Structure 1
Amino acid sequence: MKLQEAYFSESNAIGGWTMIGYKAPAASSAADSISTSGSNFDYSQQGSYTNGTITTASATALWQAKNKVVLNDCAVNDANVWQIKGTISNALVTFSASTSSICTPLTPTFSKIGQ
């Protein structure tokens, strides 16, 4: 979230992964990381960007990870994702993170991202 916060402070917009220089796990470079696949997870940039940025956002999904393998009780299905959303309001950007309740025990502090 530090990359997004720094980008927002200079541009008043949320930047796509390439714009902010974020490299997703399993990506060889930031340019390759909009959608990547690792051993256990698929990672993807979420949201609809214009020229690499989002200037208005209301709980817009920005980042997502989806498990490719069964992880304890966390089955492989479309409902089991780790996701970060961004909101722009009153010239401020805030972030919230969530995952399905069945997968929360795997990453109990994930929901603290952005707080």
Structure 2
Amino acid sequence: MKLQDAFAAERNAAGGWKLIGYTNPASNNFTYSGTGVGDAATVALTALNNNVGWQAQNIPALNECTANNGCTWKVTLANGTVGGQIKYHACQSTKAAPFTPNFDAISTPGATGCTVN
């Protein structure tokens, strides 16, 4: 989020992971993606409409989370209410909540639009 905020302040756009300098974590337990903004793409802040900025899904079974994407953690991006800012909304699947009960606390106050199936 800090990398995305710095990019947005400079370019008035959201940037893909490569552009903002974010490196996909290496993990045997989770797959990570940021499909709402392409790796080397930009999206004007005014065009952001709950684009997926970051997502993680489990690989092995984790308690109630079945193997291969039984649980999902997601952060979506939307245009902020002040120029040059992004609103972040964090959400997670119901079965993921016991692992990260305060995950939604990283959301921008008043942000909406993040859903997980």
- Bucket of the pairwise TM-score, normalised by the shorter protein: 0.7 to 0.9
Structure 2 unaligned runs (5+)?
109-117
| SS in structure 2 at match of 1:8 | helix
State whether structure 2 residue 93 is matched by structure 1 residue 104. no
Q: Per the alignment, do residues 21 and 42 of structure 1 end up closer, same or farther by CA in structure 2, a change over 3 Å counting?
A: same
- The answer to whether the Cα contact below 8 Å between 2:34 and 2:55 also exists between their aligned partners in 1 is yes
> Equivalent of 1:42, from 26, 31, 35?
31
Pairwise CA distance, 1:68 = 0.5
State whether structure 2 residue 61 is matched by structure 1 residue 54. no
1:30 maps to none
Pairwise CA distance, 1:72 = 1.3
* Total equivalences in the alignment: 104
User: What's the Cα RMSD here?
Assistant: 1.9
Q: Per the alignment, do residues 77 and 6 of structure 1 end up closer, same or farther by CA in structure 2, a change over 3 Å counting?
A: same
- Of all paired residues, the percent bearing the same amino acid is 37
- TM-score under structure 2 length normalisation: 0.78
- TM-score under structure 1 length normalisation: 0.80
State whether structure 2 residue 50 is matched by structure 1 residue 86. no
2:113 maps to none
Counterparts of 1:79 and 1:59, CA distance in 2:
22
